[in-house]
């Protein structure tokens, strides 16, 4: 795409996009024009489903039904790790930590180790780090409930049949274990959609409500 002396090149494959840039650069050079590399900018977009990081407490509540609800957590008293004071409601914590009272007390306050560890566990978000490969078996006649193969994850697959269980497991990995790969023995390693990062038997050209990966 060109507008005056500006140019835009887009693509879903880095090799083909670079090849397009090379062709355009060579074409300009044949006319005595030179591309200005210092003014060239690029952007990498994943597209598709946005990776949302949620707390471990919130996610475990959504998949197990156990634990306080979102509204209940908002109204619970929380301890400020900066000054040690107690604040009513987590939404008020950020405003409290900006107050002069909190800033002054934080100069000398040191929270005890058990409190730091507990708060860190409660506020832990979706882990993002080194990718790992997990494999599991979901036979034709699976048991009523199956565990996530990731150690420490409380997710339980409770779909009615084996195909639904496999799909639910792959969907769970896209939502929660966004950096990892899941291989179900009965399916083998499936291709991954570059738009929504879902491992599916059918990868759609453009993820949308009318045409989604399965």
Same domain, 150 and 207: yes
189 is in which domain, residue-wise? 127-214
Residue 51: inside a domain: no
- State the pLDDT at residue 210: 43
Residue 136: inside a domain: yes
Q: What angle do CA 138, 50, 213 make, to 5 degrees?
A: 45
b/e code 143-154 from CB counts within 10 Å (16+ = b): eeebebbbeebe
Over the stretch 42-81, which tens digit does the pLDDT of each residue have? 777 765 555 556 677 777 777 777 788 888 888 888 888 8
Residue 188: inside a domain: yes
Strands annotated E in the chain: 2-3, 6-7, 77-79, 86-88, 133-136, 146-147, 156-157, 181-184
Give the model's confidence band at 12: pLDDT under 50 very low, under 70 low, under 90 confident, else very high: confident
Give the model's confidence band at 11: pLDDT under 50 very low, under 70 low, under 90 confident, else very high: confident
Give the total number of structural domains in the chain. Answer: 3
DSSP state of 39: G
Same domain, 169 and 150: yes
DSSP state of 120: H
The answer to whether residues 79 and 86 touch, using CB atoms and an 8 Å cutoff, is yes
Same domain, 132 and 210: yes
């Amino acid at each position: 795409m060109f507008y005056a002396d500006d140019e835009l090149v887009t693509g879903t494959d880095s090799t083909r996009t670079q090849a397009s840039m090379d062709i355009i650069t060579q074409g300009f050079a044949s006319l005595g024009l030179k591309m200005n590399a210092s003014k060239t900018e690029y952007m990498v977009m994943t597209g598709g489903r946005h990776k949302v990081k949620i707390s471990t407490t919130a996610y475990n509540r959504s998949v197990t039904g156990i634990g306080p609800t979102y509204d209940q957590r908002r109204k619970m008293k929380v301890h400020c790790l900066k000054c040690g004071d107690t604040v009513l409601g987590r939404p008020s914590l950020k405003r409290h930590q900006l107050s002069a009272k909190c800033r002054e007390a934080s100069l000398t306050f040191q929270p005890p180790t058990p409190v730091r560890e507990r708060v860190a566990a409660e506020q832990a978000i979706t882990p993002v780090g080194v990718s790992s490969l997990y494999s599991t078996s979901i036979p034709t006649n699976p048991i009523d409930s199956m565990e996530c193969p990731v150690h420490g994850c409380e997710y339980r697959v409770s779909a009615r049949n084996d195909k639904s269980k496999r799909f639910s497991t792959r969907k769970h990995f896209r939502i929660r274990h966004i950096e990892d790969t899941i291989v179900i023995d009965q399916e083998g390693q499936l291709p991954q959609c570059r738009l929504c990062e879902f491992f599916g038997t059918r990868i759609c050209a453009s993820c949308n409500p009318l045409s989604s990966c399965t």
